[in-house]
A and B are shown apart, each in its own frame.
Chain A
Amino acid sequence: MNLFVMLLCLFLILCAISVALTKDILTSIIIYMSFSLIMCVIWILLESPDLAITEAAVGAGITTLLFFATFKKIHLIDEEEERASHED
């Protein structure tokens, strides 16, 4: 049990560092999402299931979707679309 928590915390730190160091924005969003999922498991182990549900729904679900939608809107993800908009 204790080892499991330590492992999860280690993953958490790894995720946090790699989000900052990843160059590709799509990858860093996915890593951010996995950060939220690990955090969700840690909330359950800390006996706060309320926070775990909210973390899973908001942190891993909605925030990631909003990131995708926003980055698509400002042409940061889709390169083809970016090229098309430059040609216009």
Chain B
Amino acid sequence: MKIREDYEQVGWRKLIHWVNADLQEDYISKDHVIHDQLHLKENAAQEKNKRIDELKSSLQALAKTHGKQWYEKSYRIFSIFVAVAMIIVLLGVVSQLPSFGDPSNPANNEVSERYIESGLQETGAVNIVAGMILDYRAFDTLGESHVLFIAAVSVLILLRMDYGSDGKLRKTKGIRDEGYDRMYEPRNDLILQTVTRLLFPMIVLFGIYVILNGHISAGGGFSGGAIVGAALILYNNAFGFNKTKRFFTYNTFKWVSFASLITYALLKTYSFYTGANHLHSGIPLGEPGAILSSGLILPLNICVGCVVACTMYTFFTMFRKGGM
């Protein structure tokens, strides 16, 4: 990696040099200074003084090289010692962990027993994992969705381009560089476009299937939403912002995320308002294995899927140059 010259004076680079025990440059520069001073004195003063000074400087240089050698040697030994100590500590901790698949592990307690034994009757979900994260621990999943939303919002704050009140990009410094991707994005990549035309509907269908089937088979809102988001990113890469702008803008992100999160919050925070009394929801659980079953899990899965898909796509468009 090439490093700009003025970075060498920054304290961080000096720290890196120090960590690498790479102190040669400092000493070379100091020696230069000494030599220059000697040279000046040579013209002015007598030979005796010069000889004494030379002896002195050579003695100093000798001491320095000895110190440097000692420093390098002890640094190496010390670093090896620290690394070995860390390895011993970490391997010791790993060897103390409970063995994999042991039935007497602390993780196998009455909580997981309850989930496995009566999860199907209480949640109506064939997929125990979906029953766990969207029924027993639905409040945690609400927090997770909000974490994703907050991450997307902070990315938007950092990277969103400024639009004026007339809807046009504001002319600020460096805007030409920022608008680069939007201007020069590939428009006629035939291979990518043909493959996307074939694959995009299938990927989106598979994502929707994973979301809707979350309580029956493996998957759920998060993974299905990530699949749909990946499909949107592929479409954006193949056809550019002008095509995706027609169905996905900043407002789409705003309203879909907002609607999903508020629906989720309204459906699942009732235990909060009733003082942690877990009321029976009254929604029939239905026949296990059918699409319309297991109460609130299906709408919650759809909400999570919408939030995740929007967030993934927004992340990508924000990290590209050119806004949404």
B129: CB under 8 A from chain A? yes
Q: Are A50 and B219 in contact (CB under 8 A)?
A: yes
Q: Are B321 and A54 in contact (CB under 8 A)?
A: no
Q: Are A57 and B319 in contact (CB under 8 A)?
A: no
Q: Are B226 and A61 in contact (CB under 8 A)?
A: yes
Q: Are B230 and A53 in contact (CB under 8 A)?
A: no
Q: Are B312 and A50 in contact (CB under 8 A)?
A: no
Contacts of B119 on A, CB cut-off 8 Å?
none
B304: CB under 8 A from chain A? no
Contacts of B230 on A, CB cut-off 8 Å?
57, 61-62, 65
* Distance (whole angstroms) from the CB of A33 to the closest CB of chain B: 13
Interface size on A, residues (CB 8 A): 17
B315: CB under 8 A from chain A? yes
Task: For the complex, give the distance between the alpha carbons of A13 and B218 in Å.
Answer: 27
Q: Are B220 and A66 in contact (CB under 8 A)?
A: no
Task: For the complex, give the distance between the alpha carbons of A57 and B321 in Å.
Answer: 23
* Distance (whole angstroms) from the CB of B318 to the closest CB of chain A: 9
Instruction: Identify which of A49, A53, A66, A72 contacts B315 (C-beta below 8 A).
Output: A66
Using a CB-CB cutoff of 8 Å, which residues 33-88 of chain A contact chain B?
A: 49-50, 52-54, 57-58, 61-62, 65-66, 69-70, 72-73, 85, 88
Contacts of A66 on B, CB cut-off 8 Å?
315-316, 319
Contacts of A65 on B, CB cut-off 8 Å?
230, 233, 316
Contacts of B223 on A, CB cut-off 8 Å?
50, 53-54, 57-58
Instruction: Identify which of B219, B229, B316 contacts A53 (C-beta below 8 A).
Output: B219
- A68's nearest neighbour on chain B, judged by CB, is B319
Instruction: Identify which of A49, A58, A69 contacts B320 (C-beta below 8 A).
Output: A69
B177: CB under 8 A from chain A? yes
B200: CB under 8 A from chain A? no
B222: CB under 8 A from chain A? yes
Contacts of A85 on B, CB cut-off 8 Å?
177
Q: Are B226 and A62 in contact (CB under 8 A)?
A: yes
The answer to whether A54 and B312 touch (CB under 8 A), given A65-B233, A69-B319, is no
In the complex, which of the residues B129, B218, B316 has the most CB atoms of chain A within 10 Å of its own CB atom? B218
Instruction: Identify which of A49, A70, A88 contacts B319 (C-beta below 8 A).
Output: A70
B297: CB under 8 A from chain A? no
Contacts of A61 on B, CB cut-off 8 Å?
226-227, 230
* Distance (whole angstroms) from the CB of A45 to the closest CB of chain B: 13
* Distance (whole angstroms) from the CB of B120 to the closest CB of chain A: 17
Further 14 A-B residue pairs, CB within 8 A, beyond A62-B315, A65-B233, A69-B316: A49-B219, A50-B127, A50-B218, A50-B223, A53-B223, A53-B227, A54-B223, A54-B226, A61-B226, A62-B230, A66-B319, A69-B319, A69-B320, A72-B320
Residues of B within 8 A of A (CB): 127, 129, 177, 210, 218-220, 222-223, 226-227, 229-230, 233, 312, 315-316, 319-321
Residues of A within 8 A of B (CB): 49-50, 52-54, 57-58, 61-62, 65-66, 69-70, 72-73, 85, 88
